[in-house]
Amino acid sequence: YMSNKNIGEIISSLRKEKGMTQKELSKIFKVSLKTIQFYEQNRTIPDIYLVAEMAKFFNVSCDYILGVVNTPIR
């Protein structure tokens, strides 16, 4: 079972929930702005280590970011 949201939409909504810009997020995760934009547009996906970092930062599960489950499990 997969959620109806994709990784890009999930990262984007988590970022917006925190009131952050893509640029701010790129600095926190030490990636380029373009990289964050590509994630949010589903042009590329973060590697598993970055997914784990994001899960920690946003206080959600990796499964939530990956769209495997619908509930963030905060």
The yes-or-no verdict on residue 4 having pLDDT over 80 is: no
- Phi-psi label, residue 46: left if phi above 0, alpha if psi -120 to 50, beta otherwise: beta
SS3 4: coil
End-to-end CA distance of the chain: 20
Indicate the pTM of the whole model. Answer: 0.90
DSSP code, position 31: -
CB 6 within 8 Å of CB 45: no
The yes-or-no verdict on residue 15 having pLDDT over 60 is: yes
What's residue 73's pLDDT? 79
What's residue 2's pLDDT? 56
The yes-or-no verdict on residue 74 having pLDDT over 80 is: no
Q: How far apart (Å, rounded) are the C-alpha atoms in residues 42 and 53?
A: 18
What digits encode the pLDDT tens for the residues 18-73?
999 999 999 999 999 999 999 999 999 999 999 999 999 999 999 999 998 888 87
